Structure 1
Amino acid sequence: MPIEPPVPWSYVLIRILFRIVLKIFYGTIVVEGVENIPQTGRPCIVCANHTNSLTDALVLVTSIPSKRRNMLHLTAKSSQFGKKTLTSWLIEAAGTVPIQRRKDFAEGVANNDAAMAKLRQTLEMGDAVCLFPEGASRYHPTIAPLKSGVARLVSAMLSRNRNNADFEISILTCSITYMHRQHFRSDVLVTFHPPLNFRPKDNTELLEPVNFDNILNVTAHMHRQIANGTFDAPSWDLIRAAKMATPIYAPLGTAMSLGDYVRVTRTFLEAFKVGRLLSTDLAGQEAGDRPKNENDQLREDLQAYQSELYQLRIRDDRIRRPLSRPVIMYRMVLRLCWASFLLTISLGGLALWLPVAATTFYAVHNFKKTGPIWDTWDEIAQYKLVYGLVSGLLVYTAAIFVTLPIFPITSVAVPVLMWMSLRWFEDAVSAARAFVALGRLLFVDPATLSRLRTTRADLHGRVVNLAVQGLGLPDDPERYFVMYRGEDKGRVVGGWASNTNYFSVRRRRKRDWNETLRLYEQFDYPPEDS
């Protein structure tokens, strides 16, 4: 069994630092399928979808337990190397292998022979390497066709070890799903799928000289695994409609894990993709001869309902559970008092967070000016993480310097104060968001609310019918997910837990996986033609 070399101290440091930064930036990172990760010493290629630039690699590095793999060798585009920036230093210090892209060179020629030799050497030592087979980070609703490089690398490794009966190499596919990639305190789901294992004696079709169709078959299998674990659609409007169908089917407060939420939403998404495809195929027929596609019509009605809610700045849950005006005003008073109290006790720590917030806002604001939206959206989270890390360390250093006589106390007290103030501020924003949402209800015309309730009742019947009769989802989601949800991370369970977790040291217990640290719901997808 190959023995991995010692892990570089720089890699250990980077993993610790970014585990802390990711914990702060994202509200909850839920990792599924850890048992599928091959143990240290077994050659492994980790492959994931790539929508969030360097952040994707950091999420993978921090999501793989060191007990399973003590190191994950990263790859990155060569244009990020050799620069006098913190990002460049972090990439190089972590032992990242540079990959050349044709579009980064004027002559359009990329030579990755040295990179492939390094990867082969790393794998033969029993290490794990990370490759993003889409070839580039891109913020699009659909996963790009995967490059064949991973399958070709497997073929080369099998051929080099064709006489070693015990040699085995694995492709570990992973799906990364960001609720909101670049927004503070959003949530992330990381799903590791069962590995694809290859041996020379069992996969002779991949030994050189290899038929390229066999390479394509492996690549297609990888694509299916990755796509089946996240949102993958030809357009953003399909994803938005699926995200609207989920809370109508499983209303706010359902004890549903993040993994369950993503899988239910993806089930609706697949139905809407089929409906869109059927409508497209029938578009050339005469209107009177064209059969009506119920799923596509449901999607359009969900989008219309969602758009109206967004214009009114109210949420579906406020339509589902009508409240009288006295109850609305009573709840507004409670929310305002609670938000004010939480904001007050968090002010001391928020003063320390202010330089961090100002630095990241300024950096991202300037970065967005450097290129078109399609070329900058996938790097916003990366900039926030890096600049947040630097400014946060400077704030911590300054706080220790100012309180030098009692630094043994402040070295611990400062990060504790900053963390707890962030937690309380997050709950304060949640209470303020509820206050604002309730206030808007007072200004919506009663006739409009009545019409929306009628519309929602109709949508609810159609969504539940599609879910239960067409998609095989449980007919009572609120009861089902309570009984079968398994480990429940980041979600309120019972009234006592809901109240006590306002002061939880670990994390805020959310009722809605789409929450961010904003006073309004996020629908910030780029234009379809960007």
Structure 2
Amino acid sequence: MTGIGPNPASAAAGGASGPAPRLYGPIRRVLAFALGRFYRIDRAGPALPEGPLLLVGNHPNALVDPGLMIAVSSRPLTFLAKEPIFRMPVLGALVRALGALPVVRAQDDPSRMRENVEALGAAARGLAGGRAIALFPEGRSHSEPSLGALKTGAARLALQAGVPVRIVPVGLTYAEKGRFRSAVRVEFGPALEVSPGPVEPGPVRALTERIGVALRAQTLDLAAWEDLRLIEAAEALDVLATDAPARDPERQRLFARGLALLRAEQPERVDELTDEVLAFQRRLALTRAEAADLGIRYRPWTVLRFVLRNLVALALGLPVAALGVAVFGLPVLGTRLALRIAGTAPDMVATVKLLTALVLGPVYVAALAVAAGFWLGPWWGAGLAVVALPLALFTRRFLARRAEAVRDARLFFVLGNRSARKQQLLGEARALAARVTALADELLPRLTA
């Protein structure tokens, strides 16, 4: 490409149609380890089929999204990525090592759009050779509540491959995408079978619409973020009434579709139920509890075991965690402060945190090890370098577990078995849960037809 050395599309073309790059395996293992420490990852859906495969995903979390797809996919993936990434010092080397192909977007440089012909040609040859290609058809990362308008590149690529292609939609659903140890679900949907065809407006538009329908079936497609609060509250009430598993993505998607259907047909009923559910949520929030907490029954042995377990954890783990805070507290707080001052977009927060840990973390540890070796001796420096990663992981996990324990203890004192407040809230919750469950039963046949 002009002004930046060899054309990345040319350099990666062989990787798209030949074997996976040699560094793909080691990089995949590093990504899987790092992302597995940051998130609680749930991989769902069928195994990826063999043969020509095109993965299409929603894109709510910047560079974390392709990292997750690489980490949980059983097959090597060749990504189509926006061209500016290839010019970044560290990320450019990383995406080249993974064999990614650059795509020039109109907002990057309209005069260079013709360069996409070479990248898409390389991707099409990769599909013809039986490879797995991946892209995000929205064309950008964002934090909007619904799936964005899809570009036609995925449809064009599948139609021009010259061989039958399976398109697999991938839904990425984050509980709190910027928070450490939050949950993320990577769900692979049923494959769309696509035969070779003319790359003309009609077939391209029709296939793009099929891809959109398939992607929406794997994601929470909301009209507004305010709907998420209502859906989560309604789902929690349904769990309380039915003892179903909490935070089930499929149930959340059904609630979202049911809400959209009901809003279109009976908006007054939606407004009434919304007011009641959110008013209950506000009363519940005064106790810092969730609806599911109201169903907890405390038994003496369970409480005693909780107390003993946490006392032992404090006695054994607190000194080690205190050392970890002393060593790593400054860079962690510095990263948070920098994110806040910079006004980092929500879809970039996790990417910045992970890149800071993976790139600057080793530099910070090396500097500490050199300082320790200089002041205390080489064995101290070597020891610090060896224990730094286990110490950081232990400290973060210890603090997260103790925060959960504090919350559980506070709930026990606020919502004990005989608490009048608990009984009042539980009665309200059960009445609302009965209404939510009845409404869900009413809509379910239409949503699953």
Task: Report the TM range for the smaller structure's normalisation.
Answer: 0.7 to 0.9
Equivalent positions of 1:95-174 (< 5 A) are 95-105=99-109, 110-111=113-114, 112-158=116-162, 167-174=163-170
Cα distance, 1:246 vs. partner? Answer: 1.6
Cα distance, 1:405 vs. partner? Answer: 5.2
Equivalent positions of 1:382-401 (< 5 A) are 382-394=351-363
| Change in 2 beyond 3 A, CA 1:7/1:352 | farther
Secondary structure in 2 matching 1:359: helix
Secondary structure in 2 matching 1:207: coil
Secondary structure in 1 matching 2:236: helix
What's the counterpart of residue 38 of structure 1? 49
Equivalent positions of 1:252-291 (< 5 A) are 256=245, 261-279=248-266
Matched, 1:196 2:192: yes
- Distance in 2 (CA, whole Å) between partners of 1:297 and 1:120 is 52
What's the counterpart of residue 207 of structure 1? 198
In structure 2, give the amino acid aligned to 1:9: R
Cα distance, 1:177 vs. partner? Answer: 0.9
Matched, 1:12 2:31: no
CA contact (8 A) 1:25 1:184 kept: yes
Matched, 1:459 2:428: no
Point out the structure with the larger helix share.
2
| Change in 2 beyond 3 A, CA 1:257/1:441 | closer
Equivalent positions of 1:225-236 (< 5 A) are 225-236=214-225
Matched, 1:426 2:400: yes
Q: RMSD value over aligned CA atoms?
A: 3.6
- Distance in 1 (CA, whole Å) between partners of 2:65 and 2:385 is 31
- Distance in 2 (CA, whole Å) between partners of 1:353 and 1:230 is 37
CA contact (8 A) 1:74 1:97 kept: yes
In structure 2, give the amino acid aligned to 1:455: E
Cα distance, 1:22 vs. partner? Answer: 0.6
Cα distance, 1:133 vs. partner? Answer: 0.4
CA contact (8 A) 1:81 1:92 kept: yes
- Distance in 2 (CA, whole Å) between partners of 1:253 and 1:180 is 25
- Distance in 2 (CA, whole Å) between partners of 1:333 and 1:255 is 27
CA contact (8 A) 2:241 2:430 kept: no
TM-score (norm 1): 0.70
Cα distance, 1:257 vs. partner? Answer: 7.8
Report Cα offsets for 1:380-402 as digits up to 9, x if no partner. Answer: 11111111223543466566986
In structure 1, give the amino acid aligned to 2:289: I
Cα distance, 1:174 vs. partner? Answer: 0.8
Cα distance, 1:406 vs. partner? Answer: 9.7
Cα distance, 1:57 vs. partner? Answer: 0.2
Matched, 1:57 2:66: yes
Cα distance, 1:434 vs. partner? Answer: 1.0
CA contact (8 A) 1:364 1:380 kept: no
| Change in 2 beyond 3 A, CA 1:271/1:139 | same
CA contact (8 A) 1:53 1:382 kept: yes
The number of equivalent residue pairs is 423
Cα distance, 1:93 vs. partner? Answer: 2.7
What's the counterpart of residue 231 of structure 2? 242
Cα distance, 1:241 vs. partner? Answer: 1.1
Equivalent positions of 1:326-365 (< 5 A) are 338-347=309-318, 348=320, 351-352=323-324, 355-356=327-328, 358-365=330-337
- Distance in 1 (CA, whole Å) between partners of 2:139 and 2:100 is 16
